[in-house]
Amino acid sequence: MPLISPLLLAIIAGVIVANTVTLPARVQRTVDVAGKYALRGGIILLGLQLHLTDLVALGPGALLTAIAVVTIGICATLTLGSVLGIHRNMTLLIACGFSICGAAAVAATTGVTREDDRDESAVAIALVVVFGTAMIPLIPMLGHLFGLNDTTTAMWAGASVHEVAQVVAIGDVLGEPALHVAVVMKLTRVLLLAPVLALVNGAEQRRHPTPVDVKRPPVVPLFVLGFVAMVALRTTGVVPEPLVAGAGIGQTVLLAVAMFALGTGVQVRKLKHVGARPVILAALSTVVVGAVGLTGAALVTA
């Protein structure tokens, strides 16, 4: 089922377990620890999917488009969330998920914030899935309506759609050359996960200073450095393709474990009180990211 993300299935499984079975405290702690380290391992392996020469082949405009999408998307979403009166943590998770790389970005951002609210993480991931899936038929349809060629539509998809799997689904419809453009454009946005997490981590440390008698966490989390190291390693060309493919499977497994652990902390009864404002924010964020992505794709391929 290529349109259904394994991460979504994993978090649903975790939610089902949490709301049908009472896990012993020791088991819950074990699941939490496993999820924490699985998340970090999955993000590190994600770096092996990025090859900087593919980015160079698309030209500097692709990188500038990715930077614009992530920067404007996050800033606009944070501003809109403040106007709508949505909790800062929820707004931040939606901003990073919609502007960078979907569920993985939401989970990674959760890993560096000082607030551990799984309900908010679950809501942000659900919104990523809903709006990203809606864009699978919408982007090709609008591309045809606007008179865009397949390459421009593919770059727009890579610059705007939330999940890598969703981008692959759109690229597959457009054909093999367009699929490559869409995926590389999307992975360029994924590459920006590292600096964004470093900035979020630094901001969180300023908002919640570490006591003087407690060891300060690193400004750049170690798993983010691992992610960057894997990007550099893949770019050297020494990693054989079968190993890259295996790392992709391993990345999915580890992130699925992290999503399951996240889901086990979600109480459905609490989600009933979320309200419409996060949905409105998600819709507005999608429009902003889509508009910036379309503008960049049109300029790059002009």
pLDDT, tens digit (0-9, with 9 covering 90-100), for 256-274: 888 788 778 766 666 666 7
User: Higher model confidence: residue 229 or residue 12?
Assistant: 229
- In this prediction, what percent of the chain has a pLDDT beyond 70? 89
Query: For the purposes of burial, counting CB atoms within 10 Å of the CB of 195, is it exposed (0-12), middle (13-18) or buried (19 or more)?
Result: middle
pLDDT of amino acid 297:
94
> Do residues 135 and 129 lie in contact, with contact meaning Cβ atoms separated by under 8 Å?
no
pLDDT of amino acid 72:
97
What is the number of other CB atoms lying within 10 angstroms of the CB of residue 283?
14
Asked if pLDDT for residue 157 goes beyond 60, the answer is: yes
pLDDT of amino acid 43:
79
CA dist 126 and 128 (Å) reads: 5
Q: Match 């620890």 to its residue by tokens.
A: 33
Question: Which of 204, 149, 198, 146 is CA-nearest to residue 178?
Answer: 149
Q: Which residues contact 236 (CB under 8 A, 6 or more apart)?
A: none
pLDDT of amino acid 271:
60
Asked if pLDDT for residue 39 goes beyond 90, the answer is: no
Residue 99 to residues 67, 122, 291: CA-CA distances in angstroms? 10, 17, 12
Going from N- to C-terminal start, the domains of the chain cover 6-15+24-206+216-300
Asked if pLDDT for residue 155 goes beyond 90, the answer is: yes
CA dist 57 and 59 (Å) reads: 5
State the pTM of this model: 0.77
Asked if pLDDT for residue 218 goes beyond 70, the answer is: no
- pLDDT tens-digit profile of 77-112? 999 999 999 989 999 999 999 999 888 888 888 878
**pLDDT band per the 50, 70, 90 thresholds, residue 220:** low
Asked if pLDDT for residue 213 goes beyond 80, the answer is: no
DSSP annotation of 276 reads S
**pLDDT band per the 50, 70, 90 thresholds, residue 5:** low
Tokens of 40: 């970090």
Residue 274 to residues 88, 108, 242, 279: CA-CA distances in angstroms? 14, 22, 44, 9
Q: Match 């799997």 to its residue by tokens.
A: 165
**pLDDT band per the 50, 70, 90 thresholds, residue 54:** confident
pLDDT of amino acid 206:
79
